[in-house]
Chains A and B, each alone.
Chain A
Amino acid sequence: MRGRNKDRERRDIRKTRRKSLKHILKTTAAAAALVVAAPAVHAEPLKIGIIESLSGAQTSTGRLFAAGVKFGIDQINAEGGFNGEPIEVVEYDNAGGATEAADKFRQAAADGVNIVIQGASSAIAGQITEDVRKHNIRNPGNEILFMNIGAEAMELTGEKCHFYHFRFTTTAPMRVNALTNAMGQAGELGTKVMSMNQNYSWGQDMQAAIAAAAENNNYQVVDEVLHDVNKIQDFAPFVARIKSAEPDTVITGNWSNDLLLLMKASGDAGLDVRFGTAFLDQPGNLANAGATALGHYIANNYDNSAGSEEFAEEYKSAIGHYPRFVEPQAAFAAGMLGEALAGLDFGGGEVNVTDIALALENAAYESPIGTISVRAEDHQTIRPVVVSKVVENATYPADDTEMGFQSVAVVPAEQAIYPVQESCSMERPG
């Protein structure tokens, strides 16, 4: 027994000696390396956190936002990144809930993220923008910027506006004004319009915008409906209501099931009405609606048929499909960030988010359909709005069908924008 122990002891001593020798060599080497490499100081990368709905009900939309952002950032990194390092992108899954989003924001703040990006769901954006505002008050010098790439609730640039929030998408009035304008000019609007929307902030914004645009576009709002969000299985009663109101056009901000069911029900009833929508290009809609969808309109941030082939092809070769739904606006937001960063130089040192925000205010991005710039008073981007129509044999078919969107008009940015809301009183830094 003792003999064995002694052998073990001898082995251990030898191991320890070898270990300490190795240790000394390593430390010397490290010290030498440090001395040699001293001048090359490690630069501070810009960290971006995408807090998105990557699981749960809105997953498909959330993942498209993430894909678009990553495409844009990859392009910036391909040209050298920022501050001497590639921009780091981390994804956080908020599972479609505001509480989880708050949790993930705290996680992102703990991870040292400089910019937070989010787009699917105005409720979540409302949560994040408040969290960002409070974080910035409590951590002067360590601010975080919030790039909102898809939440369209008016209050985000109204009551809840603050210096570190930027909205890189349209809002209800922008979409409605463009839509009614373009449809009117194409002679497809008519004089009687019905508003069918979901009963929450977005739907209410849409309803208000539709009423406000009536005078300028020579139509009368014959009926207004606000219905439960994503709860209604059978839209036939609503179609009956449309029938009794006898509009020429129905304008709706509905998304997901609410839009799909509405269109299916109206197609089945043989209703002869034009739909003006905001979210008809959501993946799955055209395939599910089938021929019913033909002839209806949409107003959104971008359509492949209005933009350049170059962008579409570039996107396809990087991601694998032509840009769809919200991917373009996400990519453009990232591109705009790139524009802002190009004019900044922190010399490899700490990233100053306030400077980035100030640079963003002055950035102008050349998207394939026009220039996108920021309005300093409420940080809403002034951007063109595309109005398209669903046609057969489209250039860019959607959802494995033959149908797709064909742009009818591109409303220039200055015409599309809405006036600054009185409720926004932005405190500027310094």
Chain B
Amino acid sequence: MSVKAKLILGTAVLLGLIIMPPFLDAGWQNALNTMLIASLFALSFNLLAGQAGLLSFGHAAYFGIGAFAALHLMQAIEDGLPIATPLLPLAGALAGLIAGVCAGWFATMRSGVYFALVTLAIAELFHSFAPHLKNLFGGESGISGMRMPWAGFNFGTVLEVYYLTLAWVIVCTALLWAYTRTPFGRLTLALRDNEQRVLFMGYDAHIAKTVIFAVSAMFSGVAGALQAMSNETANYALFASHVSAQVVLYTYVGGATLFFGPVFGAVAFTLFAFLVSDLTRSWLFYQGLIFVLVMLYAPNGIGGAIAYHVRHWRELNWSRLAQPYGIALIGGMLVTAGVVFVTETVSILFGLEYENLRGNAEGGFPEFALLGGTWSPTSPITWALPASLLIGGIWLIRKAIKQINDTQDDNRELDDSVTDKEGVQA
């Protein structure tokens, strides 16, 4: 994708983020806010995981520390400290940086799986000790504060908080992007690809890795601070393993090889949670399923898949691919429908309410309501429908994949034949 095209796209997205929110309702504004924070967290995580190749399973620690630092500053401002409210995330950055330096120094002594385990242990230690340290972490109920007005802004509405978050996320994203363009940013990639070579070039890999860890932790701290600013409270649950897990999910589903990949993942999952969590009680299952499917079939994530298509824009035979992609899409929808149907059915049939229904019907198998219709568990239709959806969907997807492979093979043959004729690569 040319630089011009990227600039246009970027500007469009930015304009959209700036102009649209006042026209959305507060629920959506809040969701956008959450998406921005999640994106920043994922981007900072990817600095360590995708670019430096150091998979950290305990990044919640720095997110949490940033949040608590911001809250302490918020409370200090409430008590009279003359610092502008919009500068709160700086406290998060500082705390994240310091924690990152300390933790990173030790963690980067190891690599691979051991590194991951060290980061896990550090996060777990924070999680276990935080409830005992009442002054720092407010015990089990945490600390809370209130955003103080500054320069005429009250920061009382979701919209104002959103714009503040947006400003910070834009600045931090720009900084992270600039980082990748510096020589040190290149060194980061080099460390991932071949650490020994880097050592041979004379760099101290341990110090370099510590710096990278600290930078990543700093931006995670900013993300945590933004969340603390938005929620006005934080408690030790921010250090829990599932927060670390979430950022890993966002990054890898979005694609760790692309700079904006994690943003895709963060937005997708946050949107998914926003839309689906109140519709069904099994949404965590769907989330896990999506993650595993992406890991299996799109190892470079959504972002990676998009990047592939963008990169090969001219080479791909779009007219021939349109049909199999369409078929795959339909197949995907069928499979999704089938999976949702089965999951919801199982959830209902094995749930407490159904047990009560059965109790009232004296042990029979009464009908249940699902997606607007009533179904009977003993009727073959109830099982034939999802089965046919699944089988049909999978068959369509396989057919589409075969067609896509055929297209690519044909392309390759064409390239080869051209090469043969001209003796150079066409």
Contact between chains at B30 and A103 (CB < 8 Å): yes
Binds B, one of A87-95, A388-396, A414-422: A87-95
Chain A residue, CB-CB nearest to B357? A320
Question: Known interface pairs A99-B237, A107-B30, A109-B26. Does A54 touch B144 (Cβ–Cβ under 8 Å)?
Answer: no
Residue B410 at the chain A interface, CB threshold 8 Å: no
CB proximity of B229 to chain A, nearest CB, Å: 12
The yes or no answer to A98 lying at the interface (CB within 8 A) is yes
Q: Is A292 an interface residue (CB 8 A)?
A: no
Stretch among A119-127, A210-218, A255-263, A359-367 lining the B interface: A119-127
Q: If the complex has contacts A110-B27, A201-B140, are A320 and B356 also in contact, measured as CB distance less than 8 A? A: yes
- B277 lies within 8 A of A93 (CB): yes
Docked-complex contact B278 and A92, CB < 8 angstroms: yes
Number of B positions contacting A (CB below 8 A): 38
Task: Determine the chain A residues whose CB is within 8 A of the CB of B139 once the complex forms.
Answer: 200-201
Indicate which residue in A109, A111, A320 contacts B353 across the interface (CB closer than 8 Å): A320
Q: For A122, what are the chain B residues with a Cβ–Cβ distance below 8 Å?
A: 140-141
Bound Cα distance A92, B281 (Å): 11
Closest to B67 in A: A99
Residues of A within 8 A of B281 (CB): 54-55, 59, 93
CA distance A54 to B157 in the complex (A): 28
In whole angstroms, what is the CA distance A199 to B133 when docked? 12
Question: What 1/0 flags go to B138-168 for Cβ under 8 Å of A?
Answer: 0111101010000000101110000000000
Chain B residues with CB under 8 A of A103? 30, 34, 231
Q: A92-B278, A95-B277, A130-B233 are in contact. Are A110 and B141 (CB under 8 A)?
A: no
- Contact B237 A110, beta carbon cutoff 8 Å: no
Q: Is the CB of A134 within 8 A of B232?
A: yes
The answer to whether B231 touches A102 (Cβ under 8 A) is yes
- 0/1 per residue, A35-62, Cβ < 8 Å to B? 0000000000000000000111001000
Partner of B156, one of A63, A111, A138: A138
In the complex, how many residue pairs between chain A and chain B have their CB atoms under 8 Å apart?
91
A184: which B residues are within 8 A, CB to CB? none
Asked whether any CB of chain A lies closer than 8 Å to the CB of B216, the reply is no
Q: Is the CB of A319 within 8 A of B356?
A: yes
In the assembled complex, B384 has its CB within 8 A of some CB on chain A: no
- Closest-by-CB residue of B relative to A109 is B26
A155 at the interface (CB under 8 A from B): yes
Mask for B119-151, Cβ within 8 A of A = 1, else 0?
A: 000000000100110000001111010100000
CA distance A98 to B140 in the complex (A): 11
Interface residues of A in 174-213 (CB under 8 A from B): 199-201
Contact status B359-A320, CB under 8 Å: yes
Residue B25 at the A interface, CB < 8 A?
yes
CB distance from A66 to the nearest CB of B (A): 11
B179 at the interface (CB under 8 A from A): no
Question: Do A98 and B142 have beta carbons less than 8 Å apart?
Answer: yes
Smallest Cβ-Cβ distance to B146: which chain A residue: A134
Asked whether A98 lies within 8 Å of B235 as measured between CB atoms, the reply is: yes
B356 with A130: CB separation less than 8 A = no
In the complex, whether A97 has a CB less than 8 A from a CB of chain B is yes
Is A115 part of the binding interface, using a Cβ–Cβ cutoff of 8 Å?
no
Query: A321 at the A/B interface (Cβ < 8 Å)?
Result: yes
For the complex formed, measure the closest distance between the CB of B24 and the CB atoms of chain A, giving whole angstroms.
Answer: 10
Interface residues in A123-162 by Cβ distance below 8 A to B read 123, 126-127, 130-131, 134, 138-139, 153, 155
Asked whether B325 is an interface residue with its Cβ less than 8 Å from the other chain, the reply is no
Judging by beta carbons under 8 Å apart, are A93 and B231 in contact?
no
CB distance from B106 to the nearest CB of A (A): 24
- Which single member of B142, B231, B277 contacts A123 (CB below 8 Å)? B142
Q: Does A375 contact B (CB under 8 A)?
A: no
Q: Which residues on B sit within 8 Å (CB–CB) of A110? A: 25-27, 29-30, 158
Are B359 and A91 closer than 8 Å at their CB atoms?
no
Q: Which of A55, A130, A131, A200 contacts B140 (CB 8 A)?
A: A200
Which residues does chain B contribute within 8 Å of A93, judged by CB atoms? 277-278, 281
B168 to chain A, nearest CB (A): 18
Q: Which of A91, A131, A200 contacts B278 (CB 8 A)?
A: A91
Q: A98-B233, A123-B237, A130-B232 are in contact. Are A106 and B142 (CB under 8 A)?
A: no
Rounded to whole angstroms, the CA-CA distance of A200 and B130 in the bound complex is 11
Give chain A residues whose Cβ lies under 8 Å from the Cβ of B359: 320-321
In the A-B complex, the 3 residue pairs with the smallest Cβ-Cβ separation, listed nearest first, are A320-B356, A110-B26, A138-B156
- Would you list 25 pairs from A and B whose C-beta atoms are within 8 A, ordered by A residue? A55-B284, A95-B284, A99-B237, A103-B30, A106-B26, A106-B30, A106-B158, A110-B27, A110-B30, A122-B140, A123-B140, A123-B237, A126-B235, A127-B235, A130-B144, A130-B232, A134-B232, A138-B154, A138-B157, A155-B141, A199-B131, A200-B131, A228-B128, A320-B353, A320-B356
Known contacts A110-B26, A126-B141, A139-B156, then 18 further A-B pairs from the complex at CB < 8 Å, ordered by chain A residue = A55-B281, A55-B282, A56-B284, A91-B278, A97-B237, A107-B27, A107-B30, A110-B29, A123-B142, A123-B235, A130-B144, A131-B231, A134-B146, A138-B157, A199-B132, A200-B139, A320-B357, A320-B360
